[in-house]
Structure 1
Amino acid sequence: MTESGTGSWWQPYRRVGDATVFHVDLKPHADHEGDSLAWLDATERRRLQRFQIPGPGRRFSLCRAALRAVLTGRLACRNERIAFEVHDDRGKPFAMVDGVPAPISFNVSHSGDHGLIAVAPRGRLGVDVEQRQPRRHMDLLIDTVFTEPERAVLTTAEGRDRTDLFLDFWTMKEALIKALGTGLSTDPASFEIPPEMQRGMNRSTFRFPDLPAVTWHLDNIGNQAYAAAVAREMIPESAPFGEP
């Protein structure tokens, strides 16, 4: 195992403020899949065995192994000291080192052949990725998850451009929801992507309508292969880890 920020199937992709985003190659690869097993603990190996089809299991193993590798480098500890717990109220995982919550934030997303891992020293963090390919029932989704101004922008685009724009908007909303940590309880249509990002800007700030006291950095970091976005909580420099 190589305990660093770069491995045979993961590497740094983008620096966004104090967060770093890593890309994980999730294409079938016997050597990578075999090497990833060495990073998993007993609980994760049992979870891997429960996958009924190879694709989801491969993506879980490669992403979790890459996450462990990144965290060992950031936390300067051996892999076996790291465990993962889940917030009971939010269902969002966090890292433990020797039974103590680790001073680091992370979030993981994957789609098709691509995985993204975002890590930051503190603050709530969300990342989302969607492989660029046609989406079934896209018109129905546009009507249900976007606001009227967002729908107006999407209806002016056609063909591949419309699909790409839909995925850009979708990942930005998902990254914000994942950073907030509320999951399905937050309706994507209840908030709007910053207008300047609807017009093509790649970076802005954002506030949820029902949480105006908290400001988020939002970055569109997609490329030709996939749409992707990162949302980061803006917190005072003097705040201790884990507190806004």
Structure 2
Amino acid sequence: MWRIDLSARGEAGGRAILSPDERARAERLVNAKARARFRRARIALRRLLSEYLRVPPGELALEYGEHGKPRLVSARADDGAGVEIPFFFNLSHSGGLALCAVGQFGEIGVDIERIRPLSYPGPLARDHLSPEEWRLRSDWETAAARPEFFRIWARKEAILKAAGLGLSRPLGRVDTIRGELDGRSWWLMDLFPGEGFTGAVACSRAPESVRQWSWPS
């Protein structure tokens, strides 16, 4: 698991490794800060994948699932002895931070959320929490519930991204208490990327261990 600081310099020197599609997506964003953060997140992603896969970052070929989940055209890594092993990754960014999850244990999804200054999360909680999640606390109509609401939201998105579904499923169908979506179980872990942020990672299989690093280190 990698925490990526999107305020770090180095974007200009890395633009050349982005694909035409990535550069076009950046240009469609509404303001310069959002464009810069998108490019920095993708540059970091390519450089990280390059280290794992021993492929130059500009030569990594990515494709996208039906609901936009990025994946490697050849999702295999070399174990150093010439044996190919499965390789999975996912990326999420919010504000000035990003999270990149990489692993070999199955489909993976990660989400980071900036805890935004909602006056209170009640209306969104009513629309998107499952009945069991709603019963976790009685104060959803207050600002005190805001961190918990975004924690649950990150867990929901992590599961949906691991499943390759994005937001094509109603969030209320994701049970973050049991880690289930449509009857399928997912391994879940909360992440704490920085003050004012929350995050989560989901995987189709429980990993043997989870290690966390920062980029650039």
TM bracket (short chain): 0.7 to 0.9
Residue 216 of structure 1: aligned partner: 186
Residue aligned with 1:153, SS = coil
Residue 103 of structure 2 corresponds to 120
Cα RMSD for the two superposed structures: 2.6
Pick one of 46, 56, 60 that aligns with 1:78.
Answer: 56
Deviation at 1:157, TM superposition (A): 6.3
User: Which letter does structure 1 place at the counterpart of 2:200?
Assistant: A
**1:182-217 residue CA offsets vs partner (Å, 9 max, x unmatched):** 2233211123222xxxxxxxxxx6333x334xx321
Out of 119, 136, 145, the residue aligned to residue 162 of structure 1 is 145
Conserved? CA contact 1:154–1:166, under 8 Å: no
Q: Which has the higher contact order (CA 8 A, sep 6+)?
A: 2
Residue 73 of structure 1, CA deviation: 0.6
Alpha-carbon deviation of 1:23? 1.2
Equivalent residues of 2:109, 2:203 under 8 A apart: yes
- What is the letter of the counterpart of residue 206 of structure 1? G
Q: Is the 2:18–2:43 Cα contact (8 Å) retained in structure 1?
A: yes
Q: Counterpart in 2 of 1:54?
A: 32
Aligned with 1:183: secondary structure? coil
**2:130 counterpart (139, 144, 147):** 147
CA shift in 2, pair 1:224/1:155, >3 Å = farther
Match status 1:94 vs 2:71: yes
Q: One-letter code of the match for 1:95? A: L
Q: Check whether the contact 1:147–1:190 (CA below 8 A) recurs between aligned residues.
A: yes
2:70 partner letter = P
The answer (yes or no) to whether the contact 2:120–2:140 under 8 Å persists in 1 is no
Unaligned runs of 5+ in 1: 1-20, 195-204, 238-244
Tell me, what secondary structure is at the counterpart of 1:185?
Answer: coil
User: Which of the residues 20, 23, 26 maps onto 2:6?
Assistant: 26
Work out the CA distance in 1 between the residues paired with 2:111 and 2:152: 11
CA pair 173-49 structure 1, distance change in 2 beyond 3 A: closer
Scaled by the length of structure 2, the TM-score of the pair is: 0.79
Paired residues of 2:110 and 2:201 also in contact (CA < 8 A): yes
Question: Displacement of 1:235 after TM fit?
Answer: 7.5
Count of aligned pairs: 198
Matched, 1:130 2:100: no
Separation of aligned partners in 2, 1:235 and 1:220: 14
Is 1:179 matched up with 2:179?
no
**Any stretches of 5+ residues in structure 2 without a counterpart?**
77-85, 209-217
Query: 2: CA distance between counterparts of 1:178 and 1:81?
Result: 25
> What is the CA deviation profile of residues 24-65 of structure 1, one whole-angstrom value per residue up to 9, with x for unaligned ones?
1123x5x33323324323443343333341122112101100
Q: TM-score, normalised by structure 1?
A: 0.71
Distance 1:33 1:50 in 2: 17
